Amino acid sequence: MKYALLATVLALATIAFALDGQIGIHDPSTIVMCEGKYYTYGTGGSSLVSDDGWTWRAGTALPRRGLAPDVIHIGDRYYVYVAANIGAQPKAAINMIWSKTLDPSSPDYKFEEGGVVASSDGVEDSNAIDPGIFLDPTDGKLWLTYGSYFGYIRLVQLDPKTGKRVNPNDQPHNLAINCEASDMMYRDGWYYLLATHGSCCRGADSGYNIRLGRSKKVTGPYLDADGVDMIQGGGKLLIGSGGHVVGAGHFGLLDLGDGVQKFSLHWEADLERGGASVLDIRPLLWKDGWPVAGENLKEGTYELESVRTGTALELAVEGEPVGGRRARGGRGRGATPPAGGAAPGGAPGPGRGMFGGTGTPIPPQDVAQVSTNWPTGNTDARMSTYLCQAQQKWAITAVPNAGGYLGSPYFKITIAGTDRALAATPDAEVVVLPAFTGGPEQLWRMDQLADGSWRIMPKSIPNSKEQLALSAVGSSFATLAKFDPKSDRQRWLFKTP
């Protein structure tokens, strides 16, 4: 993919929205879906649940409470791993419990005890807390990472059929030091170990940040981008504090398919929520074989440019050149410039012919003025060369109380300065309506892809259950089509005009 897009896109998109609802949690587990709902569990028995991944509420506490649980769904079981210190650190044990469902209203909701899967005796160089579960997609083997600053981050193998240790007598693999809250993932022949560095549990004074290394073998060694082994304290930064949030920790991978990945984490302190520890979800991007933390799209006015064609989505109306149409004639190419040469400020002045410009900045178009001759009813959308014209500028605005999707609210897409709204039609085309009415065909989700570009999809298409994405056909036509992760047709850039 075109990873050169990444720097441009990250410069344009900054975090704008925290998750909605009740999102207070510390040390959240990887988010899992069960029977149409999203679940995560935190230290002390806390739990959050969401119907859409955007608006969250308090959930049912686990029957076994402890530190930094993690959860995974394999077959017909949900395995939950919960740590607890036995007396003072670093003596600890990680217990497994399992259930056929995470929904407390289901008759199958019943957690069974699975026993201890890892422990530390208080003397060895390890603290058996902060479990992280990883199912290897290459061979189906199940692994558990664990540990904290009291010693090594360690790795042991589990049985995916039972969730228990394959051989409790096997010595753990030592992977890293000076970190905690570890987790693993795999991509393109590499295993990645992600762990949290810095000071924990200090609120707005926390130094928490997430770092990583990679290895060709699940058992390591895990080296960072500079070749430093994590067993020697290495680690490439993924995400740290920024804006109004402090202390990034507890990575959890969310793979949505079709090349769309996100990750969950907590912030030790969200200053806009009184310094509370909160859940967050961010896009996960990739560059040169390393993961990069993306940022959720913010509200604003953008040019929507097709990665495939380089042309921009626009309202299909006759455009008016910014500043008016150029007058022909004048002194011509070989004419003598006026006395004094250029206009003030160094800009070409009058007398330079049709290429001389006005000598003063040209303001943006006033959409109220240029739209007087636009059609008043439904209008087609099309692709065209971007010319800074009003019909090419789109306002992206979150829609209150319209729900959302994993990590983000639904947005409306309108011509900036108007209420004309982009919508999906029953025949899977796109049209611009005279006004936004809030229908699901006018609500849009924006998923950032691995290369930093975006997939744009309507919440629903009238009379259809298909999930389609905005697609550029040629350089002048836009439609809706099934997303193809191998194609650039459904990839878009949000550029600030």
Please say which residue of 277, 293, 309 terminates a domain. 293
CA 394, CA 251: separation in Å to the nearest integer? 34
- Say what the pLDDT of residue 1 is: 41
447 falls within a domain: yes
Same structural domain for residues 121 and 181?
Answer: yes
89 falls within a domain: yes
48 falls within a domain: yes
Same structural domain for residues 467 and 383?
Answer: yes
Same structural domain for residues 132 and 20?
Answer: yes
- Say what the pLDDT of residue 466 is: 92
Same structural domain for residues 472 and 453?
Answer: yes
- Say what the pLDDT of residue 10 is: 42
CATH number at residue 64: 2.115.10.20
Same structural domain for residues 311 and 455?
Answer: yes
Same structural domain for residues 289 and 416?
Answer: no
Same structural domain for residues 210 and 280?
Answer: yes
Same structural domain for residues 305 and 267?
Answer: no
Same structural domain for residues 106 and 82?
Answer: yes
254 falls within a domain: yes
- Say what the pLDDT of residue 359 is: 85
67 falls within a domain: yes
Altogether, the residues listed in the chain come to a count of: 497
- Say what the pLDDT of residue 352 is: 60
Same structural domain for residues 250 and 103?
Answer: yes
CATH number at residue 453: 2.80.10.50
pTM for the whole structure: 0.91
Number of domains, the chain: 2
Do residues 25 and 279 lie in contact, with contact meaning Cβ atoms separated by under 8 Å?
yes
475 falls within a domain: yes
- Say what the pLDDT of residue 15 is: 40
336 falls within a domain: no
355 falls within a domain: no
- Say what the pLDDT of residue 361 is: 94
Same structural domain for residues 243 and 306?
Answer: no
Those residues of the chain that have pLDDT short of 70 are 1-17, 327-353
- Say what the pLDDT of residue 333 is: 41
CA 494, CA 298: separation in Å to the nearest integer? 10
- Say what the pLDDT of residue 323 is: 87
The boundaries of the domain holding residue 192 are: 15-293
Please say which residue of 293, 310, 334 terminates a domain. 293
Same structural domain for residues 274 and 376?
Answer: no
